[in-house]
Structure 1
């Protein structure tokens, strides 16, 4: 189920958006501030952001620079300059208030379809993107150098989020059955990924193994 983050401080508009999204089968999250939106982006897999331009603690333009996610800008100002600025800062689409909720839902689906037609990528928290075709990992558009087994380990977790893997299962999958190293090899590679990509990229499940939330 795709997750849509609504960043909107107007309670009435936010209720309309979240209710309609959930009715259409999406998971809808709501943030009233830029700080809360960034917190969601760090801790939750987000497919599309519906982002209001005017927020209590920042602007949608400033937030657009930091999210690195598919963004539909939402504003009451029907100003071509605002639209150009938003698009140049990384927004994917733009809707002006007042809006027809059917148009919003249609534009959300367009963004989701685009994600399935471009080169296969996996988007994680903290602005991390795995480009499977290019065999690269970027964080906030900066390429992160990973060793082959580090990349394979990250991809395993990314493709099976919320699945807990024992160290034995990881060794058998990422390495192979003939690998002569011990279970400590898994711990070392997890530590390296955390150092390069962030401490929260992979969770420890005590007594069992690891998973990616």
Structure 2
């Protein structure tokens, strides 16, 4: 096993531990045990729990963002591009819903760990900016109402998905996931169309 494979093995093992115990209760010894590697082998790649958690966060965020098309085609309908982006996230949302509790734990950690806040913030800004640009394009194309606040709608769309994620962890029996998130987001977009 090469170095990259060992690093990946540690991250996958850490995710399993985090799903079982949560961020606060997990210890480096738990990650070492779950990885099947020596303590020195784990510490070679991650010298602290915080650094390992950052590795997990980067891994999960890469899985969320990498498959999403962040290109804007100014010759195509902004509404259809935004609708397509929302609908295409269904498969990703289903896959990532297994990690919902880890993401919620990471949001809590972001309050006290600046590196977490920076990483989550950078992911948020990328998505927010992309959505706002699509809305601005839709205004320019005459598809969306001229008085639409692109930043407010972009924040609202993010809030729909974040809020449904929180609700999913509290009352999963009440959430038809991801259908509820997608339909709520599409309703918000329909509300700004002309």
Higher share of residues assigned helix: 2
With structure 1 as the length reference, what TM-score do the two structures score?
0.22
With structure 2 as the length reference, what TM-score do the two structures score?
0.24
Which one has more relative contact order, counting CA pairs under 8 Å at least 6 apart?
2
